[in-house]
Structure 1
């Protein structure tokens, strides 16, 4: 049986640069987490949350239902941001890369399968709490994850390397958002698992 470890889609390092700012590695006010000596600010985290809430509120009659179905959104988003940094580190260690062209092609395939941008955005918002502006980073994340799995030939081996990358990053999380589980590579009680098979454009456009 494949080991399943929590890791969600969303926020890749295409958008991480403005989200992380250098610090001494010590937790301080205004810091949600420190990853690899870089801090994820609470303002950057809140921006991710606000983008989702704005999209939910624009969804019309389903707004209340979408908001109710996404409790603890701050923790969910912080979990994604940290795990993205772990994935990027593991991929760099393995020499695995994803080109902008690959991301563009994947996005086109998603749009065709979903039937258009409105349908894709609605599915991503409902299924994975992704705002429209977070979809490109999500596509990069999925491609990079799949390439890493392919590189090592098995999910178990890839997860082992992800665990090593997480350890090397010396992750610290503000207790306000929960505790980091180094073994499961997850923040608190997040439940979204690694996909146990290669992502295809024909699969659901959102989710881990």
Structure 2
């Protein structure tokens, strides 16, 4: 498992945020879907909406045009990382369900309160999650639920989120859900529960001069 993929769960390092969409010319085997997880589609529109939310939050946090373009250019993996997290969220939730694990609203609020005190308030926490993990404020609580599920799952398995036993549980969940990514976004490695880039010559990245993704 690539270290960047692990850190999104254990909260110990920043992940890249913001990237151009992968675009492709040719037949699309997944029309309108970025991924199918457990028979449920994550549509391209849903993915783009999530990416746009992060972009808008970044823009609000960095109003200077030059600095904003630096943020865009220095965070080149948002679309792919966002899809990875959207899929992994469902995989982890399934793995937690398999172990009878649940997370309550009260637990999420308690975790958020603790983190807000560390970050100097709600705004500080939202800014930290945006900068470190590419999580827009509207989805902060969803991500905290993910963290709690990961912690509880690791505890139930008698391990931690960096150990093979934890990722083996996610691998089983990936198999159960039959994760299928649109080839334009790569593929899903079941054993590692991670998105990987596909080496396809017909895939290309296109970005406008303003740093916004476009689709060919």
Runs of 4+ more than 6 Å apart: 2-5
Verify the 8 A CA contact 1:5 1:184 in the aligned structure 2.
Answer: no
Indicate yes or no: 2:192 matched with 1:184: yes
Q: Tell me the alpha carbon deviations over residues 120-170 of structure 1, each in whole angstroms, 9 at most, x when there is no partner.
A: 122111111111111111111101100000000013322211111111111
Q: Which residue of 2 aligns with 1:56?
A: 58
Q: Tell me the alpha carbon deviations over residues 144-203 of structure 1, each in whole angstroms, 9 at most, x when there is no partner.
A: 1000000000133222111111111111100111121112111115xxxxxxxxxxxxxx
SS in 2 for 1:130: coil
Q: What is the TM-score with the length of structure 2 in the denominator?
A: 0.74
SS in 1 for 2:30: coil
SS in 2 for 1:58: helix
Q: Structure 2: state its 5+ residue gaps.
A: 10-28, 198-216
Indicate yes or no: 2:164 matched with 1:156: yes
Q: Structure 1: state its 5+ residue gaps.
A: 10-26, 190-208
In our comparison, the structure showing a higher alpha carbon Rg is 2
SS in 2 for 1:74: helix
Q: Which residue of 2 aligns with 1:74?
A: 79
What pairs up with 1:27-38 in 2 under 5 angstroms?
28-38=30-40
Report the RMSD for the aligned CA atoms in angstroms.
Answer: 1.9
SS in 2 for 1:6: helix
Q: Number of residue pairs matched?
A: 171
CA distance in 2, matches of 1:114, 1:69: 24
